[in-house]
């Protein structure tokens, strides 16, 4: 699992660096317009967030805690996964379609909303754990 | 991907996944929700396990099933459920008409 995670990170790094260099080179030689390198890299960033968000609910830990507790953690992971995936796709969609001057604000608003909702859901789950007397993890 | 579509195509397996969304359950607890024999349910569990949609852990004599859906698979489950409902609704008037025609 650890090596798989390292390997996927290395693959993404190998994908990102040539993509950034290639887009910069293409823009410098007027093959693509000047805003494409920025848009392209930000879109890749959004898709990367969506990719990792998609995998979050699938990663399970050993069933040490009670089953209802495990269900709550699983539900939290699903919520976080959905929010990051939708947020990442929204981020990429904004950078693909919005005017460059507005894309920064809108993309930050999309990701900020997703992260805010993640924080709320973590706090909510933590409070539910405390109400039922289960130890917080 | 084919194994995932195969697993999600069946309404019983979709219902199992929906039940596991609430909390991890034992094979017996899951089987209690269905009018099928244990071997039939066991076959459904095997399909879900082979598609990597559920995680299985043994705790003593009991087997505990946990949901193991990515966001994409979760969305596919919802989509398959919606299509299944629409397909059943579309098929219902036809089957009623066929019954009337034969009676």
| pLDDT tens figures, B9-45 | 999 999 999 999 988 999 999 999 999 998 999 999 9
What's the token pair of residue A14? 């190998």
What DSSP string describes A58-83? G------S-HHHHHHHHHHHHHHHHH
Show the domains of chain B with their CATH numbers: 2-102 (1.10.10.10)
A-B contacts (CB, under 8 Å): 53
For residues A134 and A65, what is the distance between their CA atoms, to the nearest angstrom?
9
The set of residues, in sequence order, having a beta carbon less than 8 Å from that of B62 and lying 6+ positions away, is: B26, B27, B28
A71: nearest Cα among B25, B9, B99 = B25
For residues A86 and A93, what is the distance between their CA atoms, to the nearest angstrom?
10
Is residue A75 within 8 A of residue B20, CB to CB? The reply is: no
Nearest by CB: A71 against B23, B69, B72:
B23
For residues A57 and A83, what is the distance between their CA atoms, to the nearest angstrom?
11
For residues A56 and A65, what is the distance between their CA atoms, to the nearest angstrom?
19
Provide the chain B residues 56-75 that lie in CB contact (below 8 A) with chain A: 57, 59, 64, 66-74
Is residue B33 within 8 A of residue B18, CB to CB? The reply is: no
For residues A122 and A80, what is the distance between their CA atoms, to the nearest angstrom?
9
Provide the chain B residues 26-55 that lie in CB contact (below 8 A) with chain A: 55
What is this structure's pTM? 0.82
For residues B60 and B62, what is the distance between their CA atoms, to the nearest angstrom?
6
What's the token pair of residue A119? 């924080």
Q: What is the pLDDT along chain A (137 residues), one digit of tens a residue?
A: 667 778 878 888 888 888 889 988 998 888 888 888 999 999 999 999 999 999 999 887 666 666 767 788 889 999 999 999 999 999 999 999 999 889 999 999 999 999 999 999 999 988 888 887 655 44
Residue B95 has pLDDT above 50, yes or no: yes
């Amino acid at each position: 699992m650890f090596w798989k995670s390292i390997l996927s990170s290395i693959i993404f790094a190998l994908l990102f660096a040539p993509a950034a260099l290639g887009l910069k080179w293409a823009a410098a030689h007027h093959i693509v317009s000047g805003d494409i390198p920025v848009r392209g890299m930000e879109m890749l960033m959004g898709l990367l967030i969506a990719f990792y968000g998609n995998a979050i609910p699938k990663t399970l830990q050993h069933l040490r805690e009670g089953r209802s507790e495990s269900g709550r953690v699983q539900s939290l992971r699903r919520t976080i996964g959905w929010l990051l995936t939708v947020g990442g796709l929204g981020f990429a969609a904004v950078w693909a379609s919005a005017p460059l001057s507005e894309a920064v604000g809108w993309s930050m608003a999309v990701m900020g909303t997703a992260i805010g909702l993640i924080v709320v859901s973590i706090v909510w789950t933590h409070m539910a754990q405390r109400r039922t007397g289960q130890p917080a993890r | 991907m084919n194994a995932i579509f195969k697993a999600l195509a069946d309404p019983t397996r979709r219902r199992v996944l929906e039940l596991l969304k609430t909390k991890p359950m034992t094979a017996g607890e899951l089987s209690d929700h269905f009018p099928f024999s244990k071997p039939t349910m066991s076959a459904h569990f095997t399909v879900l396990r082979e598609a990597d949609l559920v995680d299985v852990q043994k705790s003593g004599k009991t087997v505990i099933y946990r949901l193991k859906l990515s966001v994409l698979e979760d969305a596919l489950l919802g989509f398959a459920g919606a299509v299944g409902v629409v397909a059943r609704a579309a098929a219902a008037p036809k089957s009623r008409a066929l019954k009337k025609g034969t009676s």
